[in-house]
Amino acid sequence: MVCGVLALQGAWDAHRKILQDLGAEVRSVRTAAELGEVDCLVIPGGESTAMLRLMEPGRLRARLVERVSAGMAVLATCAGVILLAERVAPEQESLGLLAVAVERNAYGRQVYSTIDQVALAPRMGEPSLMEGVFIRAPRITSIGRKVAVLGRLRDEPVLVRQDRIIGATFHPELTADRRVHNLFLETAEEGHG
């Protein structure tokens, strides 16, 4: 199995290093052709509208929608959740693949970025809390029927799963806790082979 990391923007290299440390073969993805060479994909944080623009040349955006719709496992963090969301406020384009509504930069500007404790669902294992790094993070304001909440910041969902899509509004790649990346690899393996 080959994992891809969308390498257009954001802390994509941190995701790459973590996945390699966990034993995965990892490739950077910048084109539709490169997307065709991987079995699963991480969509890192960054700036969601800029990433959408960077995906347009060469049909990367269309190919990404096709692959995820066909069941490719995805881990989306921060702006990656905005890209996949069905609805975004303030209104902007998105790929509409994850049945959530999000509010961009909901916790405020960069100076209000924070590290806080995310309470995890029992299925994520012990300890029941993990450190969450929230940088201009989106807020999930509603979830669809098929979306399971795996982590909360106080009462708000910040880690969700819908089928083979995992979305974290925080940056798990910036902490030592590897449970989110392990879940992603397990999810990818479930449909591989």
Which domains can be identified in the chain, with CATH numbers?
Answer: 2-190 (3.40.50.880)
pLDDT tens per residue across span 105-148: 776 655 557 889 999 999 999 999 999 999 888 999 999 999 99
Catalytic (active-site) positions: 78, 171, 173
Query: Which pLDDT score is estimated for 109?
Result: 59
Structure tokens at 79: 């702006």
Check residue 112 and give its pLDDT.
Answer: 55
Q: What is the pLDDT of residue 110?
A: 58
What are the Cα distances from residue 31, in Å, to 56, 152, 169? 10, 34, 25
Give the span between the Cα atoms of 107 and 138, in whole angstroms.
Answer: 7
User: What are the tens digits of pLDDT across the range 55-85?
Assistant: 987 899 999 999 999 999 999 999 999 999 9
- Within 10 A of 144 (CB to CB), how many other CB atoms are there? 12
Bridge-based pairing of strands 139-143 and 129-134 is unpaired
The model's pTM: 0.94
pLDDT at 192: 61
CA distances from 51 to 30, 101, 125, 129, 152 (A): 11, 19, 33, 31, 26
Helix-strand-coil split of the chain, %, nearest 5? 30, 35, 35
| pLDDT the model gives residue 113 | 72
For residue 44, whether the previous peptide bond is cis, meaning omega lies within 30 degrees of 0, is no
Tokens of 45: 């944080």
